[in-house]
């Protein structure tokens, strides 16, 4: 069973600042609750083909995986994917202007669990949705409390 979780939030900050902060892997541990560390496997800056390793905790398990950037349209869209681990996944961020001058951000995770993960796909989807809501709320708090973003 494939997993496809899409979560949105509105952030009262211009799209360029939201996209710049959210698309920088070095910022991920500050707004993703489950991400413990980030390690660049290729040189900066972020570009198509860049590879970034993440160490995370999810559903009580420690996960190590490397994302590769597959699409990057600065200020509009970031898509990255991993084929590693029990849950190969594609993650995308999309940013849109709101009428009030803020940003609507969409975070989407989709993939096809392997092995035991196939049985637990509905649990994984619920946990991802819950985690994504919390993470986007944290991103909103960070960006809206910082006047320079």
Nearest to 75 by CA among 137, 22, 29, 38: 22
The reported pLDDT for the residue numbered 118 is: 55
How many Cβ atoms are within 10 Å of 49's Cβ, its own excluded? 10
Q: Say yes or no to pLDDT of 1 above 70.
A: no
Closest CA to 127 of 59, 71, 28: 59
Whichever domain contains 15, its CATH number is 3.30.530.20
pLDDT tens by residue, 91-123: 999 999 999 999 999 999 998 876 655 557 777
Higher per-residue pLDDT: 149 or 57:
57
pTM beyond 0.85, yes or no? yes
Note the pLDDT tens digit of each residue in 23-67.
999 999 999 999 999 999 999 999 999 999 999 887 677 888 899
Q: Give residue 74's domain range.
A: 3-145
Q: Measure Cα distances from 92 to 2, 24, 48, 146, 147 in Å.
A: 16, 13, 13, 24, 26
Is residue 19 predicted with pLDDT exceeding 60? yes
CA distance from start to end of the chain: 39
Q: How many CA atoms lie within 13 A of 110 on its CB side?
A: 9
Question: How many domains does the chain fold into?
Answer: 1
Written as six digits, the tokens of 19 are 């996209």
Instruction: Indicate the SS3 state at residue 102.
Output: coil
């Amino acid at each position: 069973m494939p997993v496809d979780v899409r979560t949105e939030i509105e952030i009262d900050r211009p799209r360029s600042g939201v996209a710049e902060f959210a698309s920088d892997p070095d910022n991920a541990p500050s707004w993703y609750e489950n991400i413990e560390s980030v390690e660049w496997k290729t040189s900066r800056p972020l570009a198509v083909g860049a590879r970034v390793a993440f160490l995370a905790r999810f559903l009580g398990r420690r996960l190590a995986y490397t994302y590769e950037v597959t699409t990057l349209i600065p200020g509009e869209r970031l898509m990255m994917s991993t084929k590693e681990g029990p849950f190969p996944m594609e993650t995308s961020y999309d940013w849109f202007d709101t009428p009030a001058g803020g940003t609507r951000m969409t975070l989407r995770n989709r993939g096809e669990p392997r092995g035991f993960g196939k049985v637990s796909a509905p649990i994984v989807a619920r946990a991802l949705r819950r985690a994504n809501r919390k993470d986007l709320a944290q991103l909103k708090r960070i960006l809206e409390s910082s006047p320079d973003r």
